Structure 1
Amino acid sequence: MIKVLLVDDEGWNRELVRTFGTWEAFGMEIVGESEGGNEALRLAGVLEPDIVITDMRMPGTDGVMLMNALHNEYPEMKVIVISGYDDFKYAQSALRYGAVDYLLKPIDPAELNAVLDKCRKELEEAAAEHEQYRLDIDVSWSLASHKQLMKAHFNELNVESVHAVLGNITEELKLGSVQSPGMLRQAASEMLLLLKELQRGNGLEDVHLKTEIPGAVLTAPESLECWLRELYTESLEQLIGQRRFKNKLNLEDVRQYICGHYAEAVTLEGLSRVFFVSKEYLSKVFKLEYGINVTDYILRLRMDKAKQWLESGNIPIKTVAELAGYEDVGYFYRVFKKHFGVAPGEMRKQAEGLKMSNPEG
């Protein structure tokens, strides 16, 4: 229910407002009444009304002072002013402090109910906007882990796994408490943005991506999945064709790919799929060229990057772990200590000590 507080020093005026308002029809309820501004301000804090209907001329704290206080402390509250004085200055004050409307006594029931209906609509719109914002955050959160998997599978050209991720997203969206077009549009937009990022990262910048989201796609999670599956599959087919066209394995391309994707789930198997060679062949020729196997090269790259971030600033160790491709911070600690012989925190302390002893270095 929409809560309403009545403020007027004359009881019979409050009675008229109670009588003329079609409260139930608007989903409203009068939760309190006050004879003056001071008491009204106290009740506003206790009852938290959505609408305050107030007279302007009252002893003590008048309507202008009350509206000023409400405007500063509770800016979301709707205020309707009712006054027996056709005073332009009072009307100016009412508008200055955000009054929804300024009504003159004697109260016209039609005018009162019209402004109540206006308040109802504004409150419902504000609530809908708030719900949409909350929903967007929830959708983003639920997509986060799926997007990480999607990156790895797309970069490995694993079509089946990409389809599986889209199916899992559909199941999660179906479990949501609200399956609205707004929720589906948010999911569609985020997955489109991810696809654009994946295209750019794989040299497909020139490939046209349909950014218009058809209305039919927003009718159900299954419809969204079919549409996204078509887009992702089309991009993957283009990327696979591009890679196959190159034919000959270029180890520098492999190394550059690792440098650009080391923070993701890069594996020997995934690389072999990306460059259309066997795992055994890739492992053999990579070690012959660089004197280190693929797995150790990825590990060394991650550790070197982590060391740079630890020594260069105040990035939290958890964030350093994530940037280096480790979701499990505990595992990152163990790998880092095994690689360097010291824990991440100890290395940071050592770096800070060197800076203090050599401030000009």
Structure 2
Amino acid sequence: MPYKVMIVDDEKWNRDMVRTLVEWDRHGLELAGEAEDGDGALNAIRETGSQIVITDMRMPGMDGVRLMERIHETYPDIKTIVVSGYDDFHYLKHAIRYRAVDYLLKPIDPKELNAILSKCVSDLASASVQERELPLEMSLALSTCKQLLQRHFNELNRGGISHALEQVRKELNVRGITQPSRLERVVLELQVALKETMNANMLSEEPLPPIGRNDTVTSETAIRFVEEQYLRVLDMLAASRKFKNKLNLEEIKQYAERHFAENITLEQMAKVFYVSKEYLSKAFKQEYGLNLTDYILRQRMEKAKEWLLDEGLSIKAVAEMAGYEDVAYFYRVFKKHYGVAPGEMRKKSLVEKTD
């Protein structure tokens, strides 16, 4: 029996594009249906028994984040593939949280889409949900590692990347995780994190090769496979920055706009762009009229204000997406910046919207 695929996007031409690019017969797939938003998708999934969902992130009504949350809760064995534009970068954290198989950037690469669908079919055919799921302790360790990898990558810290991945290898051994399907899951999650970082740094969008199903794969070979990819991409980033003739303030500004939700400091950015922090601070303020740290804060606050308009996002989620793990601290910073608390801002915006 063919595996059933649901396509979810509020734009008809995007749905048409996905439908055209999928090699249905090759993968043994059939189109179960299409939906314009998450509500319609959930109803269609329930009626058709879809096993793969290809969804956009930004849609009216129930968006991709809430759809993935509901799928994760109700249909944990469904394979979800996210399709996203650059503006959706911060929503991709949710894609990882709700265990999307992968995400694609628009315009969609047909080869990448079909490679991911091939992996979905392989997983559905050969592994149970229990085999693919990672123990909670391993998932937490992996989440911590991905945060460290992102920071080390942006600081061009090769040693830090190797050390973080070595900790993952040790954790896999301690937990006795040897099943090929689980090791593949670890590799995939680390690759998704690497692709996020590549996109944020405007590096090549070439697809990362999958490790492939191999009964002889070990924690050592899996982590070495990932490490080679991270260090190769790191060399690409270092080369693109090291040989610039002069400081490009517009690039600094764009970097801050892409990484504002991370714990970046003036010292880290100076190191990334091979200049002193004093020179960077002075040049940025002369060009844009405010300190770099103030500019990053402004980016966080503007995005937080925008996300508060989405009633489907809790204030805690907004705080996390804006880079604040401490919600109480987010409240204080937001109120100092705008003069009102986040909850008051949300109520005021919704009232103005209905008037």
- State the TM-score bracket (shorter-chain normalisation): 0.5 to 0.7
Could you tell me which residue of structure 2 aligns to residue 193 of structure 1? Answer: 192
Give the residue type in structure 1 aligned to 2:183. Answer: L
Task: Quote the offset at 1:209 in angstroms.
Answer: 4.0
Does structure 1 conserve the Cα–Cα contact (< 8 Å) formed by 2:165 and 2:223? yes
SS in 2 for 1:259: helix
Does structure 2 conserve the Cα–Cα contact (< 8 Å) formed by 1:306 and 1:324? yes
Question: Could you tell me how far apart the structure 1 residues matched to 2:246 and 2:298 are?
Answer: 27
Could you tell me which residue of structure 1 aligns to residue 76 of structure 2? Answer: none
Which deviations, in whole Å up to 9, do the C-alpha atoms of 1:262-318 show, x marking residues without a partner? 112222122112211111111111111111111111111101111122245442101
Q: Does 1:338 align with 2:336?
A: yes
Task: Quote the offset at 1:216 in angstroms.
Answer: 8.8
* CA spacing shift, 1:285–1:351, aligned 2, 3 Å: same
Could you tell me which residue of structure 2 aligns to residue 244 of structure 1? Answer: 242
Could you tell me which residue of structure 2 aligns to residue 293 of structure 1? Answer: 291
* CA spacing shift, 1:209–1:329, aligned 2, 3 Å: same
Structural RMSD (CA): 2.9
TM-score by length of 2: 0.58
Could you tell me which residue of structure 1 aligns to residue 263 of structure 2? Answer: 265
Question: Could you tell me how far apart the structure 2 residues matched to 1:202 and 1:353 are?
Answer: 38
Give the residue type in structure 1 aligned to 2:222. Answer: L
Does structure 1 conserve the Cα–Cα contact (< 8 Å) formed by 2:131 and 2:179? no
Does structure 2 conserve the Cα–Cα contact (< 8 Å) formed by 1:188 and 1:213? no
How many pairs does the alignment contain? 232
Could you tell me which residue of structure 2 aligns to residue 18 of structure 1? Answer: none
Structure (1 or 2) with the larger CA radius of gyration: 1
Structure 2: state its 5+ residue gaps.
1-124
Task: Quote the offset at 1:167 in angstroms.
Answer: 2.0
Task: Quote the offset at 1:256 in angstroms.
Answer: 0.8
Question: Could you tell me how far apart the structure 1 residues matched to 2:145 and 2:153 are?
Answer: 12
* CA spacing shift, 1:175–1:183, aligned 2, 3 Å: same
* CA spacing shift, 1:342–1:209, aligned 2, 3 Å: same
Structure 1: state its 5+ residue gaps.
1-125
Does structure 2 conserve the Cα–Cα contact (< 8 Å) formed by 1:143 and 1:169? yes
Could you tell me which residue of structure 2 aligns to residue 348 of structure 1? Answer: 346
Could you tell me which residue of structure 1 aligns to residue 178 of structure 2? Answer: 179
Q: Does 1:160 align with 2:177?
A: no
SS in 2 for 1:135: coil
Task: Quote the offset at 1:174 in angstroms.
Answer: 2.3
Does structure 2 conserve the Cα–Cα contact (< 8 Å) formed by 1:311 and 1:348? yes
How do residues 1-361 of structure 1 correspond to structure 2 at under 5 angstroms? 129-135=128-134, 139-205=138-204, 209-213=208-212, 215=214, 218-219=217-218, 221-311=219-309, 313-356=311-354, 359=355
TM-score by length of 1: 0.57
Does structure 1 conserve the Cα–Cα contact (< 8 Å) formed by 2:324 and 2:330? yes
Does structure 2 conserve the Cα–Cα contact (< 8 Å) formed by 1:262 and 1:302? yes
State the identity %.
47
* CA spacing shift, 1:135–1:342, aligned 2, 3 Å: same
Question: Could you tell me how far apart the structure 2 residues matched to 1:154 and 1:217 are?
Answer: 30
